[in-house]
A and B are shown apart, each in its own frame.
Chain A
Amino acid sequence: MKKIEFTDDFIKHLEWLARIELEDSEKKRLKEELALLLRYIDDVLSIDVEGYSPYIYPKPSMELREDIPVSDEDAYSYLSRLALEEGFVKGPVVIKKK
């Protein structure tokens, strides 16, 4: 893997991956702190893991409950916090008008 250079393009790529827009001051700070953090986590690369499988969940055999609907008597009160219009819940606009 080639050495990572903390260029403006690299930071822009990270913003895109994380879907977080950064201010200019934050970009500068990120360059400094990422260099430290990546050097730090590079220690993981020196651990001999030969013979070990990835360990994800301490208890891998998960059992799921029956999917039975339950009624919540207060449900209407939660909905009333949103904009209710003619029996519909008015959500945020998620498509752009042409």
Chain B
Amino acid sequence: MRAVDFLLSIKRGEIDDVKLIEGFRERVIAEDEKYNIFITLAEPDEAFHRKRLLSGVPIAVKDNIVTKNLRTTCASQVLENFVPSYDATVVERIKSEGGVIVGKTNMDEFAMGALGTTSYFGPTRNPLNPSLSPGGSSSGSAAAISSGLVPMALGSDTGGSIRLPAAWTGIYGLKPTYGLVSRYGLVSYSDSLDQIGPMASSIFDLELLFGVIMGWDEKDPTTYDKHVPSEVFIKRAFMNPDPHIMRNLRVALLKEPLVHEDADQKVVDRFMDYVSELEAYGAVVEEVSIPLVNKAPQIYYVIAFSDASSNLARYSGLLYGKRVVDVIDTDWDEYYMRNRKLFGWEVKRRILLGSFILSAGYYEMYYDRALRARAKLYDELNKVLAKYDVIATPGSNIPPLPLDFDASDLSRLNAIDSLLVIANLAGLPAIVIPLEVSTNTPISIQLISQKWSEDILFEIGKYIALYISKLERELEA
């Protein structure tokens, strides 16, 4: 059931608002065995705020977003026993609107990974096909929605971590404009790329959750106070889209992900069938080429790994993190180095490479240059967005990879990274909308628009969900 329908039924007095969380724990225990979705379960609390926007809606939260008195591990042994003393701003906003936080979802360790397989607590499986990866790093949040356990969840997206799992599990996901959702309480990986965002089984629920969590926050100085008011999104979450939205919509079809040497031709062909449908409904679609997109993952690696090496320096067992040795047993340097052995391999290699990039002689060579290349990419994307309403790509140009895929195969990862990381590098909003859902080859579309224009993405998204993919009709039925 969609949360928006549930909430309307409560308003009309047809059902009680504790109905959705009844029996939740039993359902989770049954499903979790199959997919390994949750790291920590909260006891569903019936003492939520009544008669508010999300009253009684069960919501899952990625385990890198802090929750008061509820363990937050970042899927790492390092934070295995960390219980925060405060809520992230997004969690606080959900609770104040009556939403019920039901648990913390599995993820790649410290959000580092594309397959949901680097978690200390084991990999998450894809509910569409348990032998496949659900995509990472917000793997558990996506699986919680795709398996039908919750209608909505929070994820975080540093280089596609909301959108890839959305694409591979057949759900909706939004990476908001950088600065439109507070990062206060998000465990940092790469500060200028990280962004919290909503994930949902319905585009209407996605817009509702976004409306609740978005907006300026005095606790996050990178948030912005000039944007479309949250009330607009909340109101529109219960409304059908503008019926004329497709008429003369200018769509830039990005060439590079379609002709990438590792793109899957079947996925691309099926995606193009849907692009033809957009045209049939009145959109003007033109192909554009930005060759720099193919090198965006390399720019991303340099910046993100360097940031990670700095951000994760705090986990030494002193202020944060598990302590396996004390200073009293050893000297200060060894204390630091031995406590940090607890990181998993993917985290270690990113910190190691990041530390190298930032070291004397290499900072200018790699890091400074990557920041300049980022400026160039930002410029090139915005030139396209000055002429078109949105840039379109597949949500993923390959089908979900098997769980045992060798993540050192950078070529296939480049195919998906290149279409995803561009939105993070430029701070632009990007939405993934499922087009068809199947056990091996789900098809989706990603739309990227100008900063602060999430309202356009939701209007187009709703139109596609209702009239082109028709997936929303199945939820309504």
Contacts and interface: CB of A to CB of B under 8 A. Distances in A.
Interface of A: 1, 14-15, 17-23, 26, 29-30, 33-34, 36-38, 40-47, 49, 52-59, 62-65, 72, 74-75, 78, 81, 92-97
Interface of B: 83, 85-86, 178-179, 191-192, 218-219, 221-222, 224, 292, 295, 298-299, 301-302, 309, 313, 316-318, 323, 326-328, 331-334, 336-338, 340-341, 343, 345, 348-349, 351-357, 359, 361-362, 365-366, 368-376, 378-379, 408, 410, 426-427, 451
13 contacts: A18-B354, A19-B313, A20-B343, A20-B351, A30-B349, A41-B302, A44-B295, A49-B369, A55-B374, A57-B192, A59-B427, A74-B85, A92-B318
Contacts of A57: 191-192, 222
B345 A65 contact: no
Nearest to A50: B372
Contacts, number: 154
- Which 3 pairs of residues, A with B, have the shortest CB-CB distance? A58-B427, A54-B371, A49-B372
A30 B340 contact: no
Given A20-B343, A26-B345, A52-B379, A94 B337 contact: no
Contacts of A59: 178-179, 222, 224, 427
Contacts of B327: 92-96
A34 B369 CA distance: 20
B314 to A, nearest CB: 11
B352 A19 contact: no
B340 A37 contact: no
A56 B334 CA distance: 33
Given A19-B313, A26-B348, A57-B192, A62 B221 contact: yes
A61 to B, nearest CB: 10
Nearest to A37: B353
A45 B365 CA distance: 7
A93 to B, nearest CB: 5
B76 to A, nearest CB: 14
B25 to A, nearest CB: 25
Contacts of B343: 20
A64 B221 contact: yes
B328 A93 contact: yes
Among B299, B368, B372, B378, find the residue whose CB has the most chain A CB atoms closer than 10 A.
Answer: B372
Given A65-B219, A97-B328, 15 more contacts: A18-B351, A19-B313, A21-B338, A30-B352, A41-B301, A47-B299, A52-B373, A52-B375, A52-B376, A54-B372, A56-B192, A57-B191, A59-B178, A59-B224, A63-B221
